């Protein structure tokens, strides 16, 4: 008899496998000329990257949405508001990427559907870190946000440099700046957390 856990585990493995495949294709196209002069991406590379970005943006929408709900429940209105705002910006990114795919007469690949599940999985992992109740949860969440957002900045910058299409370049640069704001906000909160903790230990 197959129980619910087995189904969830199989589903998670499947989602991770797909995500690995997606990143391999898009990552490969962005980094194929690593160290050399940026290469111009082919149409296939551009579509791979847009699908890859779609997965990650949809993942962020779900992650920030769930973080915001959890913070609300915990009574942390500041963090809840920040996560809600970030979620809305990531949702804008998803829509803008879908608009670009439409403009290029392509549909999001079926595997982009794994984005939200990845966000829920990441939320689950991050939520389990604070089970010991030592306040490590918030720091881990902030560190993860800084890491993800900096990765996003790096990818958008590479895509920007390797694309001639003006409309895509504008979107990459605008999304990049939004991701920089997210990374800086999380970094600033992380520093405040560390300072507060050091203050507490005296």
Residues forming the site for Fe ion (CB under 5 A):
57, 90, 93, 149, 179, 182
**Smallest distance, Fe ion to C-beta of residue 30, A:** 16
**Smallest distance, Fe ion to C-beta of residue 8, A:** 27
**Smallest distance, Fe ion to C-beta of residue 94, A:** 8
Residue among 48 and 179 whose Cβ is closer to Fe ion: 179
Q: Which long-range contacts (CB under 8 A, 24 or more apart) does 61-64 make?
A: 61/87, 61/90, 61/91, 61/94, 61/115, 61/116, 61/119, 62/115, 62/116, 62/117, 62/118, 62/119, 62/120, 62/123, 63/119, 63/120, 63/122, 63/123, 64/90, 64/119
**Smallest distance, Fe ion to C-beta of residue 158, A:** 15
Residue among 48 and 90 whose Cβ is closer to Fe ion: 90
Residue among 57 and 66 whose Cβ is closer to Fe ion: 57
Residue among 25 and 54 whose Cβ is closer to Fe ion: 54
C-beta atoms surrounding 75 within 10 Å: 8
């Amino acid at each position: 008899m197959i129980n619910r856990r087995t189904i969830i585990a199989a589903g998670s493995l499947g989602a991770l496998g797909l995500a690995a495949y997606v990143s391999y294709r898009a990552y490969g196209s962005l980094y194929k000329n690593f160290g050399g002069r940026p290469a111009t991406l082919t149409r296939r590379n551009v579509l791979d990257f847009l699908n890859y970005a779609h997965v990650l943006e949809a993942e962020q929408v779900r992650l920030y949405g769930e973080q915001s709900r959890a913070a609300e429940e915990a009574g942390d209105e500041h963090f809840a508001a920040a996560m809600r705002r970030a979620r809305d910006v990531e949702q804008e990114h998803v829509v803008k990427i879908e608009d670009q795919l439409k403009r290029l007469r392509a549909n999001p690949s079926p595997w982009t559907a794994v984005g939200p599940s990845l966000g829920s999985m990441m939320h689950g992992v991050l939520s389990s870190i604070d089970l010991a109740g030592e306040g490590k949860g918030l720091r881990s969440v902030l560190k993860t946000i800084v890491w993800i957002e900096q990765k996003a900045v790096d990818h958008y910058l590479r895509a920007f440099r390797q694309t001639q299409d003006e409309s895509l370049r504008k979107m990459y640069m605008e999304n990049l700046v939004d991701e920089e704001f997210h990374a800086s906000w999380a970094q600033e909160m992380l520093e405040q957390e560390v300072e507060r903790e050091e203050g507490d230990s005296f």
